[in-house]
Amino acid sequence: MASVLLDLPLRCRCGHVRGVGSAVSPSTGFRFFCYCKDCQAFARFLKRVDVLDTAGGTDIFQMPPALVRLTAGRDAVRCVRLSDGGVFRWYTDCCRTPIGNTFGPRVPMIGVIHCFMDHQADGRSRDAVLGPPLCRIYERSAVGPLPPTAPAPPSFGLFVRRTSKVLAWWLRGLARPNPFFDEGWNAPCSVPRVLTHSERAALR
């Protein structure tokens, strides 16, 4: 069955920050589970370990920045970096909902975290909209046995597919606009808070 390209509502837990993911389908992006220590530390920083699965995994959908729009509550969007030069991790100040991860204003992808996608309002299941997760990464950092539903580790073919997909986003100009960076200056829309070594260490 051909996948239907529909907009997907985005929403923080309290509803202050809202947005839209355009034309979201399994072929729009790349869904995976990340078990890395940094994604776990981000959830701990937010005091939202409830967003992790039982082994500490985060369900992420990487998609092109141009297809993610914020429509309300931009004033509550915040950014944290676990180290100087680290990934830009975006969240909402109103209710500490993790939004997603970006590598910078020029990198053509945003890893949108599952809890910012409003599948309830959308009425379709996450698997139906995004397809099943394609792989898991950093499972060595998992904090428990992986759930039976955990996807397989990435194959080389999947790695190639993802690289060519991201390259295609870049070639199609989908790196811009990025909802988290100023169009002209490339400045982050909220000044990132960079954690100190001891702040980061406290999140282990």
Which residues of the chain form contacts with Zn ion (CB under 5 A)?
12, 14, 16, 34, 36, 39, 92, 94-95
- Find the shortest distance in angstroms from Cβ 156 to Zn ion: 20
- Find the shortest distance in angstroms from Cβ 173 to Zn ion: 27
- Find the shortest distance in angstroms from Cβ 200 to Zn ion: 14
State which residue, 111 or 188, has the beta carbon closest to Zn ion: 111
State which residue, 96 or 176, has the beta carbon closest to Zn ion: 96
State which residue, 66 or 88, has the beta carbon closest to Zn ion: 88
- Find the shortest distance in angstroms from Cβ 50 to Zn ion: 15
State which residue, 67 or 77, has the beta carbon closest to Zn ion: 77
- Find the shortest distance in angstroms from Cβ 92 to Zn ion: 4
**Considering just the CA atoms, what is the radius of gyration of the chain in Å?**
16
Angle value at C-alpha 108, between 104 and 110, nearest 5 degrees: 70
Task: Please enumerate in sequence order all residues whose Cβ is within 8 A of that of 77, keeping only pairs 6 or more positions apart, or say none.
Answer: 17, 70, 90, 91, 92, 93, 99, 180, 189, 190
State which residue, 36 or 166, has the beta carbon closest to Zn ion: 36
Tokens for 113? 């975290």
